[in-house]
Amino acid sequence: MTSRAPRELEMTTARFVVHKHQATRLHYDFRLEMGGVLVSWAVPKGPSMVTSVKRLAIKVEDHELDYRDFEGTIPEEEYGAGAVMIWDEGTVTWEDDKDPIEMLAGSLVEFALQGKKLKGRFKLVHAKLGGNERNWLLIKRKDDHVETEDDILTRQPDSARTGRTMEQIAAEGSAK
């Protein structure tokens, strides 16, 4: 007979990165490691630590895992041209040891983040707003990390990895 482990031990861990991306317009790329790739959403207003704030998250193409380490400038002639910052990074834990690919297919992805800036429980809900299949909502869930002011993006604007600003990244290019 096997005894069940506590809920915290039933979770599996992967990595996540949030890229702050100054392309045509500033947005945040929210990327979760699933199935050997970074499953990605563009979040126009960036993530929030406030439970009442629901952020539009537009599903975009998956990226290779090594892209989580990219901080620098995408050349003007390439898609997504502009400065890219590692705004946050850390581990993502899938709740109740659920398969993240199955959660993604089921239109509700529940997870916990342990990042340098983002911490605690979140969920992505496939909202299909305006009939668009790519539209999801990124929502902070109630836990000990909830904030009352929606200002994490202005309080912590710089790179979680290098401490550089967007202006420095644009001027200096890729991190060494």
For the chain, the distance separating the N- and C-terminal CA atoms, rounded to the nearest angstrom, is 52
Is residue 16 a contact partner of residue 31, using CB atoms and an 8 Å limit? yes
| Residue 3 predicted with pLDDT over 60 | no
| Residue 5 predicted with pLDDT over 50 | no
User: What is the average pLDDT across 85-95?
Assistant: 97
Of the candidates 89, 92, 157, the one whose C-alpha atom is nearest the C-alpha of residue 122 is 92
Q: Residue 19 class from Cβ within 10 Å (0-12 exposed, 13-18 middle, 19+ buried)?
A: buried
Q: Which helix (H) or strand (E) holds 35?
A: none
pLDDT in tens, 146-167: 999 999 999 999 999 999 999 9
| Residue 10 predicted with pLDDT over 80 | no
Highest mean pLDDT among 4-8, 76-80, 160-164: 160-164
The residue with greater pLDDT, 128 or 99, is: 99
pLDDT in tens, 26-61: 999 999 999 999 999 999 999 999 999 999 999 999
